[in-house]
């Protein structure tokens, strides 16, 4: 992980702090923007930087901590969460968004690709949430019954619906939904909430390779008549990481325009 100086000035600040993995582009970047807009301080990571994330960091000095690391490296993920706590003093919500997708029939999918999908999408997300839960178990609870921390796992509508050529990717998302249901039961008594958001097909880099014919078919099958944009999904994540959803845990909200697959 890249080293950054840690200003201590805001460590005692009670302003909410959100962690968002994969904030350099696509849905993660849109979530980072929304959470900054609502007044949170935000920490994010990705393997690379992007111009838009660099601009955002320059516009929000002291409020946005962005660094580079690989979600598949559990030591780096734990160290990032530690650096976030050292910098901001607390964590209030966590959005496990970073993921990779790979399309192809299972029969020709190599071991290395399967291992990478599992390491980034499942292990990376689970380790991130584990580190946040460790913090939430020791972080003072607010004097309201609204809870201590909220984790949101970014799943996909293919987890529930299935899609040919996406079996391994879909399995990683199904694992996150299953993880969220059990963890919600495990930590609910401590005021910690765990939910999922399952987007349908979105217009992002992840889906850029979709052939035009497949794209047109998806649009035809979507009741709301278009593919989703990151902005369409951000509202559900904003809601689940806010006190407005204080009595919701162990759930998956599907945001797919009515179902396109």
Nearer to ligand NAP, 27 or 133 (CB): 27
Would you say 229 or 246 has its CB closer to ligand NAP? Answer: 229
201 touching ligand NAP, by CB under 6 A: yes
Which residue sits closest to ligand NAP, CB atoms considered? 26
CB of 211 to ligand NAP, least distance (A): 14
State yes or no: is 113 an active-site residue: no
Site map for ligand NAP, 11-40, x if CB under 6 A? -----------xxxxxxx------------
Tokens of 102: 């790979």
Least Å distance between CB 11 and ligand NAP?
A: 26
Please, are residues 195 and 249 in contact by the beta-carbon 8 Å criterion? yes
Position among 135, 150, 156, 252 found at the interface with ligand NAP (CB under 6 A):
156
- Nearest CA-CA partner of 243 in 124, 149, 113, 172: 149
Task: List the one residue out of 160, 149, 152 whose CA is nearest residue 195.
Answer: 152
Catalytic residue among 45, 65, 136, 169: 169
User: By C-alpha distance, which of 4, 27, 8 is closest to 198?
Assistant: 27
Angle between helices 26-37 and 230-240 (to 10 degrees): 50
Euclidean distance between CA atoms 252 and 239, whole angstroms: 13
What DSSP character marks residue 12? T
Interaction site with ligand NAP (CB under 6 A): 22-28, 45-48, 70-72, 97-101, 120, 154, 156, 199, 201-202, 204-207
The residues that are catalytic are 169
């Amino acid at each position: 992980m890249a080293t950054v100086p840690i200003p201590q000035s805001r460590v005692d600040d009670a302003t909410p702090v959100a962690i968002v993995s994969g904030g350099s582009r696509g849905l993660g970047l849109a979530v980072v923007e929304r959470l900054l807009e609502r007044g949170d301080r935000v920490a994010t990571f990705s393997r690379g930087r992007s111009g838009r994330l660099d601009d955002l960091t320059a516009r929000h000095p002291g409020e946005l901590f962005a660094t580079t690391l690989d979600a598949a490296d559990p030591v780096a993920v734990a160290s990032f969460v530690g650096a976030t706590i050292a910098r901001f003093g607390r964590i209030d919500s966590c959005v496990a968004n970073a993921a990779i997708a790979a399309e192809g029939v299972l029969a020709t999918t190599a071991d290395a690709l399967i291992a990478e999908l599992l390491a980034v999408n499942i292990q990376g997300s689970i380790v991130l949430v584990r580190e946040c839960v460790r913090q939430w178990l020791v972080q003072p609870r607010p004097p309201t019954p609204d809870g201590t921390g909220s984790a949101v796992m970014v799943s996909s509508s293919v987890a529930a619906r299935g899609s040919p050529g996406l079996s391994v990717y879909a399995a990683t998302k199904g694992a996150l939904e299953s993880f969220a249901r059990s963890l919600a039961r495990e930590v609910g008594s401590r005021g910690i909430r765990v939910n999922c958001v399952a987007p349908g097909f979105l217009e992002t880099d992840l889906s850029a390779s979709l052939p035009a014919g497949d794209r047109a078919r998806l649009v035809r099958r979507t009741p709301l008549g278009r593919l989703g944009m990151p902005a369409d999904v951000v509202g559900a994540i904003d809601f689940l990481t806010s006190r407005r959803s204080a009595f919701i845990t162990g759930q998956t909200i599907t945001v797919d325009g009515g179902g396109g697959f």
